[in-house]
Amino acid sequence: MELDSLKELWNSQATEPERDEEYYRALLNMRSNSPIARMQRNLLFELVVVLLLYGGVAIFYFVAFAGVWTIVSWIYIALGAFYIVYFYRKYKLLSQMQCITCHVKSNLRRMIESLEKFVRFYLFSGTVMVFVLFWFFWFMLAINVPHLGDKSVFFPSSSRSYWQAGATAAFPILVITGISHLLTKWTINKLYGRHIRKLQEILSQMEMLDS
Amino acid sequence: MIRIHGGIIHKISRLYRHEEEDQKDLFQEIVIQVWKSWPQYRGDAKISTWIYRIALNTAIGDFRKKKRTVETVSFDHEPPELVETGYDFEKEEQLGQLYAAIRRLNEIDRAIVMLYLEERSYEEMEEILGISQGNLRVKMNRIKEKLRNLTKAAIHGTG
A125 and A181 inside one domain: yes
Give the domain range for residue A201. 120-205
CB B107 within 8 A of CB B60: yes
- A63 assigned to some structural domain: yes
> What pTM does this model have?
0.80
Report the distance separating Cα B68 and Cα B11, nearest Å. 21
B70-119 pLDDT per residue, tens:
444 343 444 444 444 555 777 788 888 888 888 888 899 999 999 999 99
The answer on A139 and A189 residing in a single domain is: yes
Q: Considering the domain B84-159 in this protein, what is its CATH number?
A: 1.10.10
Q: What is the mean pLDDT of chain B?
A: 80
Residue that is last in its domain, among A95, A111, A141: A95
Mean pLDDT across chain A: 88
Q: Please tell me if residue B89 touches chain A, with a CB cutoff of 8 Å.
A: no
pLDDT digits (tens, 9 = 90+) for A35-90: 888 888 999 999 999 999 999 999 999 898 888 888 888 888 988 998 899 899 98
Q: What is the mean pLDDT of residues A2-15?
A: 78
Q: How far is CA A76 from CA A35, A82, A180, in A?
A: 31, 10, 20
| Confidence tier at A25 by pLDDT (50, 70, 90) | confident
Residue type, B147: L
Residue A169 in any domain: the answer is: yes
- Is A20 touching B (CB cutoff 8 A)? no
Q: What is the pLDDT of residue B44?
A: 82
As for how many domains chain A has, the answer is 2
Please tell me whether residues A71 and A126 are part of one structural domain. no
In the predicted model, what is the mean pLDDT of residues A10-28?
74
Q: Is A18 contained in some domain?
A: no
Q: Are B54 and B33 in contact (CB under 8 A)?
A: yes
Q: Within a domain: residue A149?
A: yes
pLDDT for res B20: 87
pLDDT in tens, A168-199: 999 999 999 999 999 999 999 988 888 889 99
Domain B1-67 belongs to what architecture?
A: Orthogonal Bundle (1.10)
Supply the pLDDT for residue B71.
43
Q: Does B140 touch chain A (CB under 8 A)?
A: no
pLDDT band at B139 (very low <50, low <70, confident <90, very high): confident
Taking the domains of chain B in order of start, what are their residue ranges?
A: 1-67, 84-159
Indicate yes or no: CB of B61 within 8 angstroms of CB of A111: yes
Is the CB of B53 less than 8 angstroms away from the CB of A3? no
Q: Return contacts of B48-51, CB within 8 angstroms, 24+ apart.
A: B48/B5, B48/B8, B49/B124, B49/B127, B49/B128, B50/A101, B51/B5, B51/B8, B51/B9
What's the CA gap between A84 and A186, in Å, rounded? 24
Residues A85 and A132 in one domain: no
- pLDDT given for residue B84 in this prediction: 47
Per-residue pLDDT for A14 more than 80?
A: no
Do residues A161 and A198 both lie within one domain? Answer: yes
pLDDT at position A13 is 78
- Residue A141: band (very low, low, confident or very high) from pLDDT cuts 50, 70, 90: confident
Min distance B26 CA to chain A CA atoms (Å): 9
**Percentage of residues in chain A having pLDDT higher than 70:** 97
Asked if the C-beta of A203 comes within 8 angstroms of chain B's C-beta atoms, the answer is no
| pLDDT tens string B18-44 | 888 898 889 999 999 998 898 988 888
Closest to A98 (Cβ–Cβ): which among B6, B32, B61?
Answer: B61
Which residues, including other chains, have CB under 8 Å from residue A3's CB and lie 6 or more apart? B144, B147, B148
Distance from the B107 Cα atom to the nearest Cα atom in chain A, whole angstroms: 7
Mind listing the pLDDT tens digit for each residue in A110-131?
Answer: 999 998 998 999 899 989 989 9
> Which amino acid appears at position A10 of this protein?
W
Q: Is the confidence at residue B159, as pLDDT, over 80?
A: no
Distance from C-alpha of A187 to C-alpha of A181, rounded to nearest angstrom: 10
pLDDT at B83: 45
Who wins on pLDDT, A3 or B30? B30
Position A28 scores a pLDDT of: 79
Q: Count of alpha carbons within 13 Å of A150, Cβ hemisphere only?
A: 4
ipTM: 0.79
